[in-house]
């Protein structure tokens, strides 16, 4: 080889275009509890799991349902048997094929009592799922999920369940790499162990620092995934998150500080996204402990003493909707319910609150003390302080605030180590059942107040079997009215979502589910 040719080849190599890595940096609220799909329960975990895994059904950029691993499905005439046809090109990140048996193994693990999944109830529409998860049936094989062959999955239901596709997009219904779990046990979700079938793989997890996801070359639509790397950052301090966004360290924020919304609207309106969200912010009352046990009048008094309009307009200030009911607006095929006293004016509500407070055995001079637990967040703290002031002014109650980091808070919630606890519920699918089923007396720790009402349970169980849309809605509406009259919770407001989104980010679509899979986002490389 002559020197001329050698140097020509070298110069050609030097000037060949190099692919610039595209990195999207996302704020993500609290540090994830776990990435185990059957042991997590919060949005910070679900955001990441949605990037790592894909179910039979999945979500589009606008939150609507689209085929996932299943390319098609059909429903039997009885409405209780669904057959899913899996794609031939769905693979795990190690290159092995995703098969129907992976979904069977996943759903069996989800309802296995040994897994101790708080979310097992979401799969109860499947035949025998409820009985298995409650330990009433010992054979996991009796679950109504069957692999006909590698590419055909059959799901048998207890009753017709029209919302099943939405349910199957939930992380509880993702497939699992059974051999990996068998090999590594509880350590299967560590970066060096985890294999996934979604658009991304887990590369790094540094607690309280970041989670790094890398593009999965074996994902069935890898050629359509733009961003090479997704960085998730725990961002409990909203003011710090805003500063990081302004400094260019974040492309998307998980939220914004409520006291900065006016400034944001004035200075960052072109990147501020605020939209309705299918969720409710509330306080749950522990019905197994004093002072709320067997005291509906006290619980109702606290509900009535809150000025939700002032709270949403002056404290949260992000367009939230004052909540006098549990199921939020925007839920399909459902008429929103409200507490019967919601139409009273403020003086009348406060007078009734004080009257009920006295009938419950208390007085303003008695200085009743109640502890309110919330997970660490400046926005949650502001709401808690505002509520404390209202209850102090109207009823003379002293509220002692207690905040805990997310994982500690979750443990306290599970162990019922609270009197009153801040909570939020986001619909897992667009159906009122996703909200009302939370208060069935048999769903375990996911029922935050340990609420139990036989009539409520019966109505919800009847709605599960009702095929007629209108009759089903009426059953659930009556159940919600009972729930609101019993007052095991204090609805505060229905959510809106607030995000700051870098103007260079393409593919972001606001939606009522606040679902934004990273696979649909893109950003020009630097």
pLDDT digits (tens, 9 = 90+) for 19-76: 578 999 999 999 999 999 999 988 899 999 999 999 999 999 999 999 999 999 999 9
d(CA 28, CA 318): 19
Residue ranges per domain, the chain? 23-221+501-520, 277-497
DSSP 414: H
**Residue 175 near residue 55, CB atoms below 8 Å:** yes
- 501 token code pair: 């989104």
Please confirm whether the linkage preceding 291 is cis (ω < 30° from 0). Answer: yes
Which residues contact residue 467 at a Cβ distance below 8 angstroms, ignoring those fewer than 6 apart? 79, 160
**Residue 200 near residue 216, CB atoms below 8 Å:** yes
Nearest to 500 by CA among 212, 206, 263: 263
DSSP 186: G
Find tokens 């004035």 and name the residue: 266
- 3 token code pair: 């020197």
Radius of gyration of the chain (CA): 25
pLDDT at 7: 45
Q: How many CB atoms lie within 10 A of CB 174?
A: 28
pLDDT digits (tens, 9 = 90+) for 135-154: 997 799 999 999 999 999 99
Q: What is the pTM of this model?
A: 0.84
CATH number for the domain whose boundaries are 277-497: 3.10.105.10
Question: Regarding the domain delimited by 23-221+501-520, which CATH topology (the fold level of the hierarchy) does it fall under?
Answer: Dipeptide-binding Protein; domain 1 (3.90.76)
Q: How many CB atoms lie within 10 A of CB 215?
A: 20
pLDDT digits (tens, 9 = 90+) for 234-265: 988 999 999 999 999 999 999 999 889 999 99
pLDDT at 14: 45
d(CA 420, CA 418): 6
Which residues contact residue 82 at a Cβ distance below 8 angstroms, ignoring those fewer than 6 apart? 73, 74, 75, 76, 154, 155, 157, 164
Positive or negative CA dihedral for 385, 386, 392, 397?
negative
Check whether 314 has a pLDDT greater than 80. yes
Check whether 11 has a pLDDT greater than 60. no
Residue 391 φ/ψ region, left for φ over 0, alpha for ψ in the -120 to 50 degree band, beta for the rest: alpha
**Residue 105 near residue 111, CB atoms below 8 Å:** no
Three state DSSP letters for 253-305: CCCCCHHHHHHHHHHCHHHEEEEEEEEEEEEEECCCCCCCCCCHHHHHHHHHC
Helices (H), 94-203: 100-111, 129-133, 164-168, 178-184
pLDDT digits (tens, 9 = 90+) for 152-180: 999 999 999 988 999 999 999 999 999 99
């Amino acid at each position: 080889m002559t020197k001329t040719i050698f140097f020509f080849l070298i110069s050609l190599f030097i000037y060949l275009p190099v692919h610039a890595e595209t990195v999207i940096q996302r704020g993500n609220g609290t540090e994830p509890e776990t990435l185990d799909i059957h042991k997590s329960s919060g949005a910070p975990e679900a955001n990441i799991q949605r990037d790592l895994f894909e179910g039979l059904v999945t979500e589009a950029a606008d939150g609507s349902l689209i085929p996932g691993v299943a390319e098609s499905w059909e429903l039997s005439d009885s409405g209780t048997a669904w057959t899913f046809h899996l794609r031939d090109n769905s693979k795990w990140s190690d290159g092995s094929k995703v098969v129907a048996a992976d979904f069977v193994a996943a759903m069996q693990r989800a309802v296995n009592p040994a897994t101790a999944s708080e979310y097992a109830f979401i799969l109860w529409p499947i035949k025998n799922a409820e009985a298995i998860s409650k330990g009433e049936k010992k054979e996991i094989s009796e679950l109504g999920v069957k692999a006909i062959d590698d590419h055909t999955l059959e799901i048998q239901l207890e009753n017709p369940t029209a919302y099943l596709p939405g349910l199957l997009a939930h992380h509880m219904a993702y497939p699992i790499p059974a051999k990996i779990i068998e090999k590594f046990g509880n350590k299967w979700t560590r970066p060096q162990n985890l294999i996934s079938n979604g658009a991304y793989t887990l590369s790094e997890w540094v607690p309280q620092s970041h989670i790094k996801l890398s593009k999965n070359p074996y994902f069935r639509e890898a050629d359509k995934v733009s961003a090479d790397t997704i960085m998730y950052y725990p961002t409990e301090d909203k003011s710090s998150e805003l500063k990081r966004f302004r400094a260019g360290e974040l492309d998307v924020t998980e939220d914004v500080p409520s006291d900065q919304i006016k400034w944001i609207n004035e200075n960052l309106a072109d990147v501020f996204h605020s939209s309705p969200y299918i969720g409710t912010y509330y306080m749950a009352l522990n019905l197994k402990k004093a002072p709320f046990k067997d005291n509906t009048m006290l619980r109702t008094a606290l509900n009535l003493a809150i000025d939700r309009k002032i709270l949403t307009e002056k404290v949260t200030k992000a367009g939230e909707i004052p909540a006098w009911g549990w199921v939020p607006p925007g839920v399909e095929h459902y008429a929103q319910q409200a507490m019967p006293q919601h139409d009273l004016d403020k003086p009348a509500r406060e007078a009734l609150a004080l009257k009920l407070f006295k009938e419950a055995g208390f007085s303003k001079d008695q200085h009743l003390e109640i502890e309110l637990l919330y997970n660490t967040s400046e926005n949650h703290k502001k709401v808690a302080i505002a509520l404390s002031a209202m209850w102090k002014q109207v009823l003379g109650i002293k509220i002692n605030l207690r905040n805990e980091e997310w994982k500690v808070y979750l443990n306290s919630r599970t162990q019922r180590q609270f009197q009153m606890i801040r909570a939020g519920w986001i619909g897992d699918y667009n159906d009122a059942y996703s909200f009302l089923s939370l208060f069935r007396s048999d769903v375990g720790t996911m029922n935050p107040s340990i609420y139990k009402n036989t009539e409520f349970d019966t109505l919800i169980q009847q709605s599960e079997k009702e095929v007629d849309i209108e009759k089903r809605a009426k059953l659930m509406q009556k159940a919600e009215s009972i729930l609101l009259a019993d007052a095991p919770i204090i609805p505060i407001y229905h959510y809106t979502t607030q995000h700051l989104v870098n103007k260079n980010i393409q593919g972001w679509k606001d939606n009522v589910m606040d679902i934004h899979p990273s696979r649909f986002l893109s950003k020009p490389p630097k």
